[in-house]
Amino acid sequence: MLNGIEGLRADCMQCKKCGLCETRNHVVFGVGHPQAKVMLVGEGPGEHEDLEGEPFVGRGGQLLDKLLAAVDLDRRTNIYITNIVKCRPPKNRDPLPEEQEACINWLRAQFAILRPKIIVCLGRVAAMRMIKPDIKITKEHGLFIEKNGVVMMPTLHPAALLRNPSQKPAAFEDFLKLREKIDELGCDVAKLP
């Protein structure tokens, strides 16, 4: 029998807790190192993610991978990536509050298994849900906020960077700060002895 994060994935694959299960091709559960202490949380799968079953694999995902690589982070080696909702909202609309509510226990369970020390919220929807409902991402990105013993940082969503490339240097600064925080807290699994 599977347990841990893979057991949870198997359960999540069957989920029918909201209407998004009617239109999905794949549940997009998450990807990453099973001992990662850094978790990145996006909004929800888009078209490519829905087709492939993995978060952030479209153009935004490629940009995210480049930002991660620049600070020695990699989705299979030392971090974990998931989303607030695990199934694609039609036409990439924002996930509805009731869809987020129906899905949030999967994220809570991922959190309970992985016990991340740092959570990066990718974009407004994740930051509103995880940090505070009135967050102003354009002003507050790159700032660390401690909540219940977990350090959280909002940053700009990769899709926003594709729409507005002039914001890329600011996002890069956020990832440099993230690397500093990871080193300060000693939570890069790939660097443990």
Question: CB 186 → ligand URA: shortest distance, Å?
Answer: 28
- The span from the CA of 110 to the CA of 107, in Å, is 5
Rounded least distance, CB 184 to ligand URA, Å:
27
Q: C-beta of 187: minimal distance to ligand URA in Å? A: 23
CA 125 to chain centre: 11
* DSSP E strand stretches across the chain: 31-32, 38-42, 80-83, 118-122, 145-147, 150-155
- The residue sitting closest to ligand URA, measured at its beta carbon, is 42
Residue whose pair of structure tokens reads 């309970």 in the numeric block: 112
Select 43 or 188, whichever has its Cβ closest to ligand URA: 43
8 Å CB contact between 22 and 120: no
Q: How far is the CB of 64 from ligand URA (least distance, A)?
A: 9
Q: Give the residue with the Cβ less far from ligand URA, 37 or 86.
A: 86
Distances (CA, A) of 86 to 72, 173, 175: 26, 28, 24
Contact footprint for ligand URA (CB under 6 A): 42-46, 49, 55-56, 60, 83, 122
Residue number, 42 or 116, with CB nearest to ligand URA: 42
C-beta closer to ligand URA: residue 78 or 82: 82
Closest-CA residue to 156 (of 179, 130, 123): 123
